[in-house]
Amino acid sequence: MMLVSAGFLMFAIVCINRVVRADEMMGEVEEQLHPEKTGVNTEDKEQSLQGGLWAGVALVAKSPYLLGICALMLCYSVLSTFLYFQQVQIIAEHFSDSQARTVMFARVDLVVNVLTIILQLFVTSKLIRWLGIGRTLAIVPLVLALGLLLLGMAPTLGLSMLVVVIGLQIVRRAGYYSIINPAREALYVVLSRAEKYKAKNFVDTSVYRGGDAIAAGLSGVLRSAGFSIANIAFMAVPLALVWAGVSLWLGRKHDQMTQASERG
């Protein structure tokens, strides 16, 4: 399996090199067609991308829209890590055999990947077109909020917590890959080149991993304090609702910025 994975990584490197060469060829063609612009666009692009991590932080700090994207990513990251730790605990209680756990994880991954492909091919574009970016982004957190309520009430209702948490993980992962990620990337379309690359880099790395660290620390504290899985699930519901609210706000801001750009 490691060799198969290495083979796919090598194929990815080949694809990257082909894309880079194609981009260079397109640049040469552009220079031949428009010699008066030679060097101008390149200089502007290089200038706009100067700076490091702190340049991205500064751009985020000055933009409510980018701060909203940070909040969305932070909510997703924290909630995902919470669910991961609950899954680990529940699965450890139900499966003592490592081989049985491996089989179960493989089946979950298969369902996630098949569902992701189906949603991306036949559903995602229609959702964005019909509902808009904001409502599309809000679908998954709203479903997760209902799922977390169900997880919290599972002991009372006599439901299997294993089934509920696996269902939540399938919804979260398939929803992120097929719905949230494409819609979230569309949020950057209305931004400048510098914001797209500098700020996005900060959001996708520092904010995302920061959310992981926060959730891991909180999970440990809550478990040490004696909170049950059901208690933690109830505590995560407001976070999912905040995530949905931020998504709707970002969708409205995106539409306003798009309209302003078209008028300007």
The pLDDT tens digits of the residues spanning 154-163 come to 999 999 999 9
Among 103, 64, 118, which Cα is nearest to 257's?
Answer: 64
| pLDDT value, residue 98 | 87
DSSP count for the chain of H helices, then E strands: 12, 0
Contact residues for 190 (Cβ-Cβ < 8 A; gap 6+): 254, 257, 258, 261
Residues 186-240 have pLDDT tens digits of 999 999 888 888 888 899 999 999 999 999 999 889 989 999 999 999 999 999 9
Tell whether the model's pLDDT for residue 44 goes beyond 70: no
In this prediction the pTM is 0.86
Q: At what angle do helices 98-122 and 124-157 cross, to 10 degrees?
A: 140
Look at residue 33 in the predicted model and tell me its pLDDT: 73
C-alpha torsion sign, points 17, 6, 121, 189: negative
**Every domain of the chain and the residues it spans:** 55-263
Domain topology for 55-263: Growth Hormone; Chain: A; (1.20.1250)
Per-residue model confidence as pLDDT tens digits over 92-129: 888 888 898 989 999 999 999 999 999 999 999 999 99
Give the pLDDT confidence score for residue 92 in this predicted structure.
85
Q: Supply the pLDDT for residue 243.
A: 97
